[in-house]
């Protein structure tokens, strides 16, 4: 499990082996089963989490009971509820495993200490935060302005490897369209 994370750090930063060892030494390892929650609405997000293997989703439940998926996080990505984590307030969202997943977790205090001690890690974190902001803004624009067909096309272009890993109802919940609409779009694209 640690090796995959070490390889990730080596490919994204100039951290030394000793610095990488310091980061991994403070990590807590976790294994999530399919549908197991990493964070439940109402809890405070106390960990910054790296997905070594597997796939997680961040979602909320609308007043009418529908699931609205905000984000999918596959292997070699980070996940947390940033507002809950930063402010240490109850989360409005859930984070759960879509498939069996191995994760590494750091408490806020542990990770903040690492950021202070390792400027290169701080720089990586800032780049990830910036990229997340850009991606979220683009996603919001797509959700607000695109047709269902355009939303689906954008999804398959952006996440082609996730299509076979996700049930259709989750893709529909991510796109903000009904399962019936998603099925219609997919069927219209089948070769005749």
> Which residues are 96's β-sheet partners?
37, 57
Residue 175 has phi, psi (to 5 degrees) of: -80, -15
Q: How confident is the model at residue 165 (pLDDT cuts 50, 70, 90)?
A: very high
Q: How many CB atoms lie within 10 A of CB 6?
A: 16
The hierarchical CATH code for the domain 2-145 is 2.60.120.10
pTM for this model (two decimals): 0.92
For the chain, give every domain's residue range: 2-145
More confident residue, 15 or 190: 15
Residue 96 has phi, psi (to 5 degrees) of: -140, 155
Task: Please count the helices (runs of H) and the strands (runs of E) in the chain.
Answer: 8, 6
CA–CA distance, 130 with 152 (Å, rounded to integer): 25
Q: Is the pLDDT of residue 61 over 90?
A: yes
């Amino acid at each position: 499990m640690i090796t995959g994370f070490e390889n990730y750090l080596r490919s994204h930063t100039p951290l030394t082996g000793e610095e990488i060892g310091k980061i991994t030494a403070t990590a807590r390892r976790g294994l999530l089963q399919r549908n197991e929650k990493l964070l439940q609405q109402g809890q405070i997000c106390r960990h910054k989490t790296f997905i070594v293997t597997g796939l997680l989703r961040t979602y909320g439940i609308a007043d009418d009971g529908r699931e609205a998926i905000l984000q999918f996080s596959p292997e070699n990505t980070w996940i947390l509820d940033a507002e809950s984590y930063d402010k240490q307030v109850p989360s409005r969202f859930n984070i759960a495993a879509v498939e069996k997943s191995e994760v590494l977790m750091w408490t806020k205090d542990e990770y903040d200490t690492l950021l202070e001690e390792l400027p290169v890690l701080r720089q990586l974190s800032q780049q990830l935060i910036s990229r997340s902001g850009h991606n979220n803004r683009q996603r919001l624009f797509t959700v607000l302005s695109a047709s269902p067909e355009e939303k689906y096309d954008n999804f398959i272009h952006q996440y082609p490897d996730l299509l076979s890993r996700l049930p259709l109802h989750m893709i529909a919940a991510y796109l903000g369209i009904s399962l019936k609409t998603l099925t219609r779009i997919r069927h219209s694209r089948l070769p005749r």
